[in-house]
């Protein structure tokens, strides 16, 4: 028999990660062509508003336990059901959730969809509508009594009012959200710590932002939370740049880009490129800064650029870099970046954050003796051409089509190139090409 107790957990909270897909039967949140809408669907046709999975068998024999847990939920916002594996904890939690779902007339998913629509409206600069949706999401979240949902909605509202110019109100809401999230001491708290750190950084309260970042960074590393770790590293890099800790920024930026690449968090990569541009400008590498910024601009990232880096400052640094290089060299540096794929630009940024490079004059990284990296000196012109095509993000089939050879021939060439250079992965070949200025 599973035991139950008052605790900080989500075991008895309606819905789960997969239920989000079911919620789309009831609420459709779409963004496109400047229009965002929420469409309500008839409940009888859509099924369960809260997204509960279908019960495949009947639930009998535990009515007393269900009533007891439901009673605890009337006293506390969350109840954890504990017990040995196979005792029926998940089934009991789901049954209790179905029984008490009527207390939440609009369900959990409406609050989540409103929060998502508020974020989309914010990106469209429709601030008044975004704030209205955020407030509605918060009101609904409070009605459910689910602390995690309330904290999430409060963070969304904080972000909206910040962009509307209410800095004090945004900070107050962000700190309230973090205080609620502290009860859960998990991913939610780490995620909200990011939001608080970002708002504090944009507000110029760098000391408080440092504290929020440090706590989230330690927690994310301790539990291996790579998703939140990437976000914290983004804020950490920005803080390094804002406080002129140039020696610390490269390591944080490099880790951000590497983890985001490995875990598939592609939206954070353009944000990392923006940070890399600022790092290059701070280390007197104007050509590299223009190249990285041009790559980021060409990719048209949906990820919001962190205002802690001050957009006006970025444009001023760009202007200074162009003046320093002159029209021709500045244009070459920017054309180089604009031609890069996301993967190539990311490897370029990792390279810049890994190896100190002297300021360049023509848009390509300057090397001490002017010779090609040792790995490339052993390659034939044809093999260097293949390395260049790999670095531009081409697949073996695409390379075969461009060079009018078979895919098997491409594979054979790449095997020889790997033997000569020691570069086993395509990312390693990309860095090799970038270090030589081939792309």
**pLDDT tens digits, one per residue of 98-126:** 777 666 555 556 677 788 788 788 778 88
Helices (H) and strands (E) in the chain, counts: 22, 4
Q: What is the pLDDT of residues 31-40, one digit of tens each?
A: 333 333 333 3
Residues near 272 by beta carbon (within 8 Å), at least 6 away in sequence: 234, 237, 253, 256, 257, 260, 346, 349
pLDDT tier, 334 (very low <50, low <70, confident <90, very high otherwise): very high
CATH code of domain 376-435: 1.10.10.10
Judged against a pLDDT cut of 50, whether residue 24 lies above it is answered with: no
Question: How large is the average pLDDT for residues 261-285?
Answer: 88
Judged against a pLDDT cut of 70, whether residue 407 lies above it is answered with: yes
Q: What is the pLDDT of residue 182?
A: 67
pLDDT tier, 11 (very low <50, low <70, confident <90, very high otherwise): very low
Angle between helices 311-325 and 327-338 (to 10 degrees): 120
What distance, in Å, lies between the first and last C-alpha atoms of the chain? 64
C-alpha–C-alpha distance, residues 78 and 81, integer Å: 10
Residue 220, token pair as written in the block:
């994310």
Cβ atoms of 37 and 8 closer than 8 Å: no
Q: What is the pLDDT of residue 32?
A: 34
C-alpha–C-alpha distance, residues 64 and 77, integer Å: 20
C-alpha–C-alpha distance, residues 77 and 363, integer Å: 58
Question: How large is the average pLDDT for residues 335-353?
Answer: 90
* Domain ranges, ordered by start, for the chain: 3-107, 376-435
Judged against a pLDDT cut of 80, whether residue 381 lies above it is answered with: yes
Q: What is the pLDDT of residue 78?
A: 63
Percent pLDDT > 70 in the chain is 73
Q: Pick the more confident residue, 201 or 80.
A: 201
Q: What is the pLDDT of residue 365?
A: 46
C-alpha–C-alpha distance, residues 278 and 314, integer Å: 7
Question: How large is the average pLDDT for residues 342-368?
Answer: 68
Judged against a pLDDT cut of 50, whether residue 210 lies above it is answered with: yes
Using the Cα atoms of residue 270, residue 271, residue 274 and residue 279 in order, give the sign of their dihedral: negative
> What are the b/e assignments for 75-90, b being 16+ CB within 10 Å?
eebbbbbeeeeeeebe
Judged against a pLDDT cut of 50, whether residue 29 lies above it is answered with: no
Q: What is the pLDDT of residue 331?
A: 94
Q: What is the pLDDT of residue 383?
A: 86
Mean pLDDT of the chain: 75
H/E element holding 29? strand 27-32
Q: Worst-scoring range by mean pLDDT, 43-47, 51-55, 111-115, 144-148?
A: 43-47
Alpha helices by DSSP H, listed for 243-310, are 249-263, 268-282, 286-299
Angle between helices 226-242 and 249-263 (to 10 degrees): 150
Among 273, 270, 45, 411, which residue's Cα sits nearest to residue 281?
A: 273
pLDDT tier, 54 (very low <50, low <70, confident <90, very high otherwise): low
Judged against a pLDDT cut of 60, whether residue 420 lies above it is answered with: yes
H/E element holding 174? helix 167-181
Question: How large is the average pLDDT for residues 181-189?
Answer: 69
H/E element holding 401? helix 396-403
pTM of the model as a whole = 0.62
C-alpha–C-alpha distance, residues 390 and 75, integer Å: 61
Q: Worst-scoring range by mean pLDDT, 89-103, 168-182, 225-239?
A: 89-103
Q: What is the pLDDT of residues 224-266, one digit of tens each?
A: 888 889 989 998 999 998 888 888 999 999 999 999 988 888 8
What Cα–Cα distance (Å) separates residue 390 from each residue in 318, 386, 394, 396?
Answer: 29, 6, 5, 8
Question: How large is the average pLDDT for residues 355-368?
Answer: 48
Q: What is the pLDDT of residue 30?
A: 33
Q: Pick the more confident residue, 123 or 425.
A: 425
Q: Pick the more confident residue, 205 or 294.
A: 294
């Amino acid at each position: 028999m599973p035991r139950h107790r008052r605790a900080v957990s989500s075991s008895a909270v309606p819905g789960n990660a997969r239920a989000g897909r079911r919620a789309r039967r009831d609420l459709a949140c779409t963004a496109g062509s400047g229009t965002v809408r929420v469409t309500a669907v008839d409940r009888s046709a859509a099924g369960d508003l809260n997204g509960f999975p279908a019960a495949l068998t009947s639930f009998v024999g535990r009515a007393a336990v269900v009533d007891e847990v439901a009673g605890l939920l009337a006293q506390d916002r969350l109840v954890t059901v504990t017990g040995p594996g196979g005792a029926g904890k998940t089934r009991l939690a789901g049954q209790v959730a179905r029984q008490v779902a009527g207390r939440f007339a609009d369900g959990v998913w409406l609050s989540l969809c409103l929060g998502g629509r508020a974020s989309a409206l914010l990106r469209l600069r429709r601030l008044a509508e975004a704030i209205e949706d955020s407030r509605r999401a918060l009101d609904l979240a409070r009605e459910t009594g689910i602390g995690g949902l309330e904290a999430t909605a409060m963070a969304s509202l904080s972000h909206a009012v910040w962009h509307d110019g209410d800095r004090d109100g945004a900070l107050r809401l962000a700190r309230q959200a973090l205080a609620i999230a502290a009860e859960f001491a998990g991913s939610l708290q780490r995620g909200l710590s990011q939001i608080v750190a970002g708002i504090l950084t944009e507000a110029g309260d760098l000391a408080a932002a440092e504290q929020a970042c440090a706590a989230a960074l330690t927690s994310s590393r301790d539990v291996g939370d790579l998703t939140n770790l990437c976000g914290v590293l983004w804020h950490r890099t920005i803080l390094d740049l804002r406080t002129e800790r140039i020696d610390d920024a490269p390591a944080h930026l490099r880790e951000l880009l590497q983890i985001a690449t490995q875990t598939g968090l592609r939206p954070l990569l353009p944000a990392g490129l923006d940070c890399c541009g600022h790092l290059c400008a701070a280390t007197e590498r104007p050509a590299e800064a223009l190249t990285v910024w041009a790559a980021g601009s060409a990719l048209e990232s949906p990820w919001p650029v962190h205002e802690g880096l001050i957009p006006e400052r970025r444009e001023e640094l760009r202007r200074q870099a162009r003046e320093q290089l002159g029209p021709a060299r500045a244009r070459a540096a920017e054309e180089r970046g604009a031609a890069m794929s996301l993967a190539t630009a990311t490897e370029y940024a990792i390279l810049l954050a890994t190896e100190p490079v002297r300021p360049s004059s023509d848009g390509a990284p300057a090397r001490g003796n002017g010779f090609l990296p040792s790995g490339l000196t052993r390659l034939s012109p044809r093999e260097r051409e293949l390395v260049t095509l790999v670095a531009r993000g081409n697949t073996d089939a695409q390379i075969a089509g461009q060079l009018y050879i078979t895919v098997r021939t491409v594979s054979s060439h790449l095997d020889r190139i790997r033997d000569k250079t020691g570069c086993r992965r395509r990312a390693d070949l990309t860095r090799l090409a970038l270090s030589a200025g081939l792309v």
